[in-house]
Amino acid sequence: MGYTIAQKIIKEHLVSGEMVVGTDIGLKIDQTLTQDATGTMAYIEYEAMGIPRVKTEKSVAYIDHNTLQTGFENADDHRFIQSVCKKHGIYFSRPGNGICHQVHLERFGKPGKTLIGSDSHTPTGGGIGMLAIGAGGLDVAVAMGGGAYYITMPKMVRVNLTGKLSPWVSAKDIILAVLKVMSVKGGVGKIVEYGGEGVKTLTVPERATITNMGAELGATTSVFPSDETTREFLKAQGREEDYTELSADADAVYDEVIEINLSELEPLAACPHSPDNIKTIKELEGQQVDQVCIGSCTNSSYLDLMRVAYILKGKKVADNVSLAIAPGSKQVFNMLALNGALGDLIAAGARILESACGPCIGMGQSPNSKGISLRTFNRNFEGRSGTADGQIYLVSPETAAVSAIKGVFTDPRCLGEAAEIELPEKFLINDNMVIDPAPVEEMDSVEILRGPNIKEYPKTSPLTDSIEASCSLKVGDNITTDHIMPAGAKILPLRSNIPKISQHCFTVCDKDFPERAKTLGKSIIVGGENYGQGSSREHAALAPLYLGVKAVLVKSFARIHKSNLINAGILPLTFKDNADYDKIKLGDMLELPNIKEEITNASDITVVNKTTGETIKADCELSDRTRAIIIAGGLLDYTKENS
Ligand code: MIC
Ligand code: SF4
């Protein structure tokens, strides 16, 4: 039996377990990336492990999320990360150099290699045939220290692409079409692999748009073959030597196959407030637009912005629209500046932002009240834009640009003939915003620069024999990490200060939660399906940990969040019978009478509702390793105990 692309990479990197779906496997990690919003914590954790120099082939720290610098906090964090990088052997991509995933794809990613990143959109690297996975900061810290990264061996999904996109239909429309079929939880426990004749028609940045937004499927990762197109891209980036060919065997076996005929696709939008709430632009056409934002790690490549510039050239942004554009990297920005396209964007009235995440993570450009905002981004969760009643639609750069000049939702196919825009034979290569680590002989003399906002990792404790704690919060389905630990300009600067950031935990759902949980001392959160979808931010586990949350009992979990809970020593429990969800109310006193024994023996978990007198059963799906982590009180304690 042949192998899929992902299975080939997994096989090459397997350090423990077997490639049996549903079982725990350990992977050797070649590359890591961090961004600043998760990075400070990851490096605090790395320091706590006491390993002088990273053991990966390449580790890069990017500064792209917290670049507003509304106070000293962000700048202090940047300096801290820069000093850690210098000392411990990590490359440092300075603020202004661009969004981590875009820059990593351009400058560092390599086909066939494994990459984990403390950001859920790390699968962008799948666009050049990497096995690139989003993880919690602590997992990345462990991988930098040479430890394996553990996942549950996923199922394999093949998306078979046939045909060719029509003019003005875009890679974004492909992934939106896949989201329509699979939904935001359809990818959980799966790797999505693209194949078929249609693959050849897509450039690397287009492939990366698709693998990037595979995160919204809940998939472990997504991957494209590495082929001639990949080689040309790497050559144009001056690193043809990084190329290796990679494709699935003809007799590879997939658990699921999805057919997408590119010729039949039309421009689509993900409507408020979920990336899988898909409509065609035709259905929305004519509705007024208030804001358009172009950028983010999904759609800010040279190709994307050249298409936007082509559409905007000689035109004017409609009076009712505010158009903001953030190029994905310094490379893209600089090339647009040199070839005149930037002038076309400025002349049309675009508000040019720095190369960073910006509005995608609520750092500025919040829309007006009830504002309709068309964004080329990947997430439109309620409130994420910074405007609670903002209506965010996720669209392609082509749809965004044409709608910005028309002032209403407009199908870009009205532009007629396709524009002849190709990738350059040579990108502008200038890595002067990447700072190399200090040579080994100098690293001892590098001083770590710590600002006053940087606080320690919260206290953990080993699993106790029993737990008695009340239900401090009850929430419904599809709770995102933006609900649990919101971001935005006010809160992001607190990412290295768990005591302070905890005061914002779950406040979008219930503003009294932090105070209540703190007063209770110990508590349990109850939730529905797909709990913790979205970001890889471990703060969504660390803030509850700090507030005394001992267990989260839900119908189902999103992958990264579940492992962040385990890493933080919080019990991830699922109802055996989902109907039992109705048997617990906010404030009920719950008891897990034999929890340690039940976890140790991998038996069902008994949950007694002392308020109602009812007993229900829950599962705690753990591998031998994650069981040991939970018993130890989290990954940090486990790593210390075992090193
Ligand atoms: C996001 O898109 O939500 C983020 C901000 O990039 C996060 C990481 C974070 O919360 O810092 C992600 O996707 O993992
Ligand atoms: Fe940044 Fe947005 Fe991409 Fe997250 S999704 S890495 S916030 S651009």
Per the CB < 8 A criterion, the answer to whether 410 and 535 are in contact is no
Q: Is 246 in the pocket of ligand 2 (CB under 6 A)?
A: no
pLDDT band (50, 70, 90) for residue 642: confident
The shares of helix, strand and coil residues in the chain, as percent rounded to the nearest 5, are 35, 20, 45
CA distance 315 to 247: 43
Does this model's pTM top 0.95? My answer is yes
Measured in degrees and rounded to the nearest 5, phi and psi for residue 270 equal -90, 120
pLDDT in tens, 62-78: 999 999 999 999 999 99
Give residue 504's pLDDT.
98
AA identity, residue 30? D
pLDDT band (50, 70, 90) for residue 13: very high
Give residue 82's pLDDT.
98
pLDDT in tens, 567-581: 999 999 999 999 999
Q: Is 357 in the pocket of ligand 2 (CB under 6 A)?
A: yes
Q: Is 37 in the pocket of ligand 1 (CB under 6 A)?
A: yes
pLDDT band (50, 70, 90) for residue 288: very high
Per the CB < 8 A criterion, the answer to whether 202 and 229 are in contact is yes
Per the CB < 8 A criterion, the answer to whether 345 and 312 are in contact is yes
Q: Is the pLDDT confidence value at 293 over 80?
A: yes
pLDDT band (50, 70, 90) for residue 587: very high
CA quadruple 52, 53, 56, 61: dihedral positive or negative?
A: positive
pLDDT band (50, 70, 90) for residue 341: very high
Q: What is the DSSP letter of 62?
A: E
Give residue 1's pLDDT.
86
CA distance 273 to 464: 40
Q: Which atom of ligand 1 sits closest to the CA of residue 540?
A: 10
Q: Which atom of ligand 2 sits closest to the CA of residue 379?
A: 5
Q: Is the pLDDT confidence value at 166 over 90?
A: yes
Tell me how far the alpha carbon of residue 614 lies from the centroid of ligand 2, in angstroms.
44
Tell me how far the alpha carbon of residue 536 lies from the centroid of ligand 1, in angstroms.
6
Q: Three-state DSSP class for 300?
A: coil
Q: Is the pLDDT confidence value at 643 over 80?
A: no
Residue 315, classified by CB atoms within 10 Å of its CB into exposed (0-12), middle (13-18) or buried (19+), is: middle
CA quadruple 392, 396, 400, 403: dihedral positive or negative?
A: negative
pLDDT in tens, 427-485: 999 999 999 999 999 999 999 999 999 999 999 999 999 999 999 999 999 999 999 99
pLDDT band (50, 70, 90) for residue 93: very high
Q: Is the pLDDT confidence value at 178 over 90?
A: yes
Give the mean pLDDT of 555-565: 97
Closest-lying ligand to the alpha carbon of 99? 2
Q: Whose CA is nearest to atom 6 of ligand 1?
A: 119
Testing ligand 2's pocket by substitution, the residue of 120, 301, 361, 536 carrying the most ligand atoms inside 8 A of its CB is 361
Q: Is 119 in the pocket of ligand 1 (CB under 6 A)?
A: yes
The percent of residues above 90 in pLDDT, for the chain, comes to 98
Give the mean pLDDT of 194-200: 98
Mention every residue, 6+ apart, whose C-beta is less than 8 A from residue 512.
Answer: none
Q: What is the mean pLDDT of the chain?
A: 97
CA distance 252 to 156: 10
Testing ligand 1's pocket by substitution, the residue of 43, 121, 394 carrying the most ligand atoms inside 8 A of its CB is 121
pLDDT in tens, 237-261: 999 999 999 999 999 999 999 999 9
Testing ligand 2's pocket by substitution, the residue of 296, 480, 533, 560 carrying the most ligand atoms inside 8 A of its CB is 296
Q: Whose CA is nearest to atom 2 of ligand 2?
A: 360
Closest-lying ligand to the alpha carbon of 293? 2
Tell me how far the alpha carbon of residue 569 lies from the centroid of ligand 1, in angstroms.
21
Long-range own/partner contacts, residues 301-304 (CB < 8 A, 24 or more apart): 301/102, 301/205, 301/208, 301/209, 301/328, 301/332, 302/205, 302/331, 302/332, 302/335, 302/336, 302/423, 302/424, 302/427, 303/203, 303/205, 303/206, 303/421, 303/423, 304/205, 304/209, 304/328, 304/376, 304/397
Cα 547 off chain centre by = 24
pLDDT in tens, 101-160: 999 999 999 999 999 999 999 999 999 999 999 999 999 999 999 999 999 999 999 999
Give residue 641's pLDDT.
84
Residue 98, classified by CB atoms within 10 Å of its CB into exposed (0-12), middle (13-18) or buried (19+), is: buried
The percent of residues above 70 in pLDDT, for the chain, comes to 100
Q: Three-state DSSP class for 288?
A: strand
Q: Is 297 in the pocket of ligand 2 (CB under 6 A)?
A: yes
Q: Whose CA is nearest to atom 7 of ligand 2?
A: 361
Q: Give me 248's structure tokens.
A: 């699935």
Cis amide linkage into residue 273, ω under 30° from 0: yes
Give residue 639's pLDDT.
86
Q: How many other C-beta atoms are found inside a 10 Å radius of the C-beta of residue 609?
A: 18
pLDDT band (50, 70, 90) for residue 34: very high
